[in-house]
Amino acid sequence: MDTASFELTVSEVVEETADAHSITFTVPEDHAELFDFKPGQFLTVAVPSDQTGVAARCYSLSSSPLTRAGGLTITVKRTAEGYASNWICDHLRQGDTMRVLPPSGIFTPASLDADLLLLAGGSGITPILSITRTALAQGSGRVVVFYANRDERSVIFSAVLTRLATEHPDRLQVVHWLESVQGLPTGEQMKAFVARYPAHDAFVCGPAPFMKMTTTALKELAVPRERRHQEKFVSLGGNPFGDLHDVEVAESEIAAAESDEQDAAADAAAAARAPVRLEVELDGEQHCFDDWDPGTKMLDHLEAKGVRAPFSCREGECSACAVRLLEGEVTLLHNDVLDAEDLAEGIRLACQAVPVTDSVKVTYS
């Protein structure tokens, strides 16, 4: 059921580079609270598709929540075979509308007063810029931005970054790395750069090879897990907008038929167990329930209780619904985004979590 998407109007389209466009949406006043966001979060948009009806994609917000009155801005860079990114850059114009889910994501600083090391590659600059803008305007810490690109023409927000560095010379340092000049950065070069900022909170976003190399450097330098953050995006296989195309419905019915035996066994096992106690901390509020059905996913249970818990894909393919486990344990029915280290740190996906203990306590902070 489509319960969370909204039709937003495009108020502006800016060509940042030959391959990247910034899209600004106007948010109606009656939806303003729903579209409040934290720097580093993303929007999930519905791109029309002849094959599937809707292609759901996540794009980071490049605007700052401090300037939300001017609208919400995502920045989309074309990819070679990216249907959605190419459709947006080719077709979306001022006055058009798109269906959008409210902001989600946990790629955001716990404190804007912390010293931040922001490491971006290509279009990974999008959430990094939002964090930079907000930290400089509202925080007190120092900010270092490392930005890797193919060449000078592919640098998104070049003028904006230059202006911010000029306005905040004592707090912002921007380091550009151009493949056309310096070659691709190596692991050792990245490690040497990161080593200069051992006490900074590190945020990494960019192509998969860039993120792997950078996070490896951070790990080898023993940067604590709580100070290492990375943004992961995948093409969502499901449709969080609630209007599945006939082909998708048929495919899901076939898949459901193939797994009937497994589902029946799981339902029988769940029915044999007593309801579970669930404690959830969300936006400073505590929610406690003693009737969580062991066969029901955490997100579904919270929604049934009227709790506005964050989500995007509902398929275990993004981190919008991530929680941190404080007590008890859950199992994830599907997980395409959390790695072994995330799981070891207690991070779980509420949209795929079912309980395995009699009591579970989690936090969204």
What architecture does CATH give domain 6-103? Beta Barrel (2.40)
Backbone phi and psi for residue 357, each to the nearest 5 degrees, phi listed first: -120, 165
> What CA–CA distance (Å, rounded) separates 228 from 207?
17
Given 3.10.20.30, 3.40.50.720, 1.10.3720.10, 3.30.70.100, which CATH number is that of 259-363? Answer: 3.10.20.30
> What tokens does 34 get?
């729903």
**pLDDT for residue 315:** 81
pLDDT in tens, 141-155: 999 999 999 999 999
* C-alpha to C-alpha distance for 235 and 243, rounded to whole angstroms: 18
Q: Which residue has the tokens 């395409």?
A: 336
pLDDT at 242 over 70: no
| Across 212-216, average pLDDT | 94
**Residue 75 and residue 59 in contact, taking contact as beta carbons nearer than 8 Å:** yes
Work out the end-to-end distance of the chain between its first and last CA atoms, rounded to an integer number of angstroms: 27
Q: Do domains 116-230 and 259-363 have the same CATH topology?
A: no
Q: In DSSP terms, which residues pair with 201 in a beta bridge?
A: 116
Nearest Cα to Cα of residue 321 among 71, 332, 295: 332
Non-local (6+) Cβ contacts of 184 within 8 A are none
**Domain boundaries defined on the chain:** 6-103, 116-230, 259-363
As its CATH architecture, domain 116-230 has 3-Layer(aba) Sandwich (3.40)
Give the pLDDT confidence score for residue 158 in this predicted structure. 96
Least-confidence region, from 71-75, 223-227, 253-257, 313-317: 253-257
Q: Please write the tens of the pLDDT for every residue from 55-112.
A: 888 899 999 998 766 789 999 999 887 889 999 999 999 999 999 988 888 889 999 9
Q: Could you tell me the pLDDT band of residue 50, with boundaries at 50, 70 and 90?
A: confident
